[in-house]
A and B are shown apart, each in its own frame.
Chain A
Amino acid sequence: MGKQVAKHIEKLPPSGIRVFFDLVLGMPDVISLGVGEPDFITPWKIREKAITALEEGYTSYTSNQGLMVLRQSISTHLRKRYGLKYKAEDEILITVGVSEGLDLALRSLCSPQDKVIVVSPHYVAYPAIPEIIGAKTLYLVTKESQGFKINPKELSNLLRQKPKAMILNYPCNPSGVTYTEKELKDIWKEISKTDTVVISDETYDELTYDQDHLSFASLGKQAKNQTILLNGFSKSYAMTGFRTAYACANKEIIAAMTKIHSFSMLCGPIISQIAAVEALHSQKEVDRMRKEYKRRRDFIVKELNRIGLPTIMPQGAFYCLSSIKQYKMDSMKFATKLLNCEKVAVVPGKGFGQDFDSYVRISYASTFDDLKEAIVRIERFLNKL
């Protein structure tokens, strides 16, 4: 029998850290700082709405674009929060997670051989999707010495290659880095000279600790027209399992994305969409979670630096990137050793870009007691190295 799997998919490298993940999943009683989702359960008022929806018999498809009431709520939310005006009718699409939004955005914009800028360290899916489409990834590697932030000059150099799109993610998974208004304007200044579309993944927008989040599309009319805003309910509202997110862009792009979505996904689950409407009225719950994350961030970053893992203070999300350079081993080896010796899981930096093999990602979406115990164990581990 000939090869069944398409060549370009076969050569797609599986997530480099999958092996490590399997190791963690097979080990009981691990303190995990490797989780990419909130440790909070979805606030009750949102869950209650989902239960009621099910009781009332909401079990059907929705329109391809998603429930109108949810799109209207998102439109109102974005107007109030960022002064952004997106029409519920044709500028907002409900997607199944930001992951689907990203897939749709890239498939709508790129033909094979087109180029896409990926800022690294990056979320694991960012370079994978261009690869699946046959597009080429241009890496914009940020440096620890520059706070893992985009250098506009280097961006300008890459833009000369006329990329079709650039994936921007802030607050960033895995570094927790976010941008000030001035920094965003500097980035936009370079992009505004081109036709490159910014796919702005702002899924952690509610989780910033030192400054208010500023949406990229709110930088101006042209910026809005040249941006696909991706956001969702997973992280801010602790709703990862609901798989509900949204994409906002000009109506031509949304129409293209909806076309693909209607063939591949049809629509997002109706129960999750109804619950998401309620989520947009849950600011108090979001504030409570943000306050707790901030407390943990302040604690863990201080402690990591103290015990010998240099870590830049992240301004958002619930991750930090710690340097393991001084221990002279790659991130996979470090994480595996730490797991085997002390049963603490962190994510090897290799998964977030090949230049980040001397880092590990630490998630502080865990209870204070677990973070405290993890620090004791990591310190003991480092002292033995």
Chain B
Amino acid sequence: MEDILEILESNARISLKDLAKLTGKGEKEIEKAIKNYEKKGTIVKYKTLINKSKIQGEAGVVALIEVQVTPQKDVGFDLIAERIYQFPEVKSCFLLSGTYDLLLVVEGPDIHTVASFVAEKLSPLSSVRGTATHFMLKKYKEDGVTLVKKEKNKRLPIS
């Protein structure tokens, strides 16, 4: 991966000035490259990874839902996937190989909201053959970042 993308992937808030220092390229050149990445859709969005368990009353509920669906002629899974990922409750949607077809990450303020999404919106869809819902109990690591305990180097300050 390009240097700029690699650095931005771990710190989207880094300044153009620092990016220039780290890559040895000019700020203008970097700005242009980033614009290009955004235009091409290589850079999709800049988001912040928030550990919601640290915010009182906002922890919410996350569920991983396995969905078995019936693929449709000509379009395969794409159409039914679209029907499902359009729901705002669905944060992520993946097509997988194996015993089920789609894996959804669904978020809601409480367990009842997620349960009613499954019972009232997801399961009734005609192409959905079955679902299995797993509620998330604790997040240890997300997007390559450890959320529970930061590892610290224990080296001496001089050697």
Contacts and interface: CB of A to CB of B under 8 A. Distances in A.
A35 B159 contact: yes
A35 B157 contact: yes
Give chain A's interface residue range (CB within 8 Å of chain B).
20 to 34
B156 interface: yes
Contact of A372 (B3, B18, B155, B158): B18
Contacts of B18: 368, 372
Contact of B159 (A36, A302, A372): A36
B74 interface: no
A34 B159 contact: yes
Interface stretch (A24-32, A255-263, A273-281): A24-32
A30 B3 CA distance: 30
B158 A39 contact: no
A347 interface: yes
A8 interface: no
A20 B155 CA distance: 17
A298 B158 CA distance: 22
Given A41-B151, A295-B3, A372-B18, A35 B23 contact: no
B76 interface: no
A24 B3 CA distance: 35
Interface string B115-159: 000000000000000000000000000000000000101011111
A35 B22 contact: no
Interface residues of B, number: 13
Given A41-B151, A298-B22, 6 more contacts: A21-B159, A24-B158, A41-B153, A303-B21, A345-B157, A368-B22
Given A295-B3, A295-B22, A303-B21, A347 B155 contact: no
Given A39-B153, A41-B153, A299 B158 contact: no
A303 B22 CA distance: 11
Interface centre among B18, B22, B23, B157 (most CB of A within 10 A): B157
B57 interface: no
Interface string B1-39: 001000000000000001001111000000000000000
A65 B21 CA distance: 47
Interface centre among B155, B156, B158, B159 (most CB of A within 10 A): B158
Contacts of B3: 295
A37 interface: yes
Contact of B156 (A35, A303, A368): A35
Contacts of B153: 39-41
B155 A35 contact: yes
A299 B159 contact: no
Nearest to A33: B158
Contacts of A21: 158-159
A303 B21 CA distance: 9
7 contacts: A32-B158, A35-B155, A36-B159, A295-B23, A298-B22, A302-B24, A345-B157
Contacts of B157: 24-25, 30, 32, 34-35, 345
A108 B157 CA distance: 34
B12 to A, nearest CB: 15
Contacts of A302: 21, 24
Nearest to A44: B151
Contacts of A35: 155-159
A36 B3 CA distance: 26
Nearest to A27: B157
Nearest to A368: B22
B31 to A, nearest CB: 19
A317 to B, nearest CB: 14
Nearest to B17: A372
Contacts of B155: 35, 37, 39, 240
A347 B156 CA distance: 14
A5 B21 CA distance: 53
A303 B157 CA distance: 22
Nearest to A375: B21
Interface in A32-82: 32, 34-37, 39-41
Nearest to A365: B155
A21 B22 CA distance: 30
Given A41-B153, A295-B3, A34 B24 contact: no
B17 to A, nearest CB: 10
A167 to B, nearest CB: 20
A32 B120 CA distance: 59
A303 B24 CA distance: 11
